[in-house]
Amino acid sequence: MAYLTYLQAIRQGIMEEMARDERVFILGEDIGVFGGAFKVTEGLLDQFGEQRVIDTPLSEIAIVGAAIGAAYLGMRPIAEMQFIDFISCAFSIITNYAAKSRYRWGAGVPIVVRGPCGGNVHGGPFHSQNVEAYFFHTPGLKIVEPATAYDAKGLIKAAIRDEDPVLYFEHKYLYRRIKEEVPDEDYVVPIGRARIARQGRDLTIITYGWMVHQSLAAAAQLENEGVDVEVIDLRTLLPLDDETIMESVRKTNKVLIVHEDTRTGGIAGEIAMRINEQAFDYLDGPIRRVTAPDTPVPFSPPLEEAFLPQVDDIVRAARELLAY
């Protein structure tokens, strides 16, 4: 076992896959000599050389386009977005080419598009976004967002081995703020499987990414009030693990969905409707959600704090739902 940060776990997973499979290579802006903007790829160039760790021009569409072409030729590329916000520059090629390729002519596109998402680091409106909802509507894609170092390593390995395009979102606030024991031996975390981060009986919180930690803190606070909260860490956003969600709903009968992304059109709406369709008879109250408001991410630290869902926001919503 090794005691790794979230960032180190991602790096270790990439290194292991590159050592295991010579078809795996990584490309992106400043990932080689500089080691990446957040140093996720530090050391890879020395270990694997410039043929497999490729610094690219500042063009996200070129990065993803080259990755798709390489995948067609049998390679397994990892395309880094320096900040996930700029994946929008490659939106068309991801949704219209990579995602549709298997449907159109049976060809898989085994690429991973990864990069740092999320706020609470005072990055402003162009470097703090959560972009999952833009892609959540696209058949043919898989989307993952780990909340722990263990899952960060296991999911990056699973994503690299997958035969279809995977968007791998890593929350930059977690990079160096969480640390845990991670197995040295080879393992993967299956895509499409949620985990129960905390067992409970009174209310279910469904969440992912940094909000898992906010929700666990809220659950600990509510425990002092005699409330037993279950927390589901989705891990995979597409496809959703309906089985785990519905099993929890049938047990607790009340549901709070928490995500850092803005409210309108967020993933919470789809989760709520699936619960309505599959487990409505088990609900003892309305499905509630805690999200960011419908504005860009503020640059000002006090405004950003007000924008992002806080532990007190989750506790307040949970209390209201419990009292319903």
User: In angstroms, rounded to a whole number, what is the distance separating the alpha carbons of residues 129 and 132?
Assistant: 9
Enclosing H/E stretch for 128: none
Which residue shows structure tokens 């999200």? 291
Active site residue 127: yes
Helix locations, 52-148, DSSP H: 60-72, 91-93, 101-105, 132-136
Q: What are phi and psi of 43, to 5 degrees?
A: 90, -15
Please, which residues bridge with residue 47 across strands? none
The string of DSSP codes covering 219-274 is HHHHHTTT--EEEEE--EEES--HHHHHHHHHHH--EEEEEEEESTT-HHHHHHHH
Active site residue: 122, 127, 137, 171, which one?
127
User: In angstroms, rounded to a whole number, what is the distance separating the alpha carbons of residues 303 and 306?
Assistant: 5
What residues act catalytically?
127
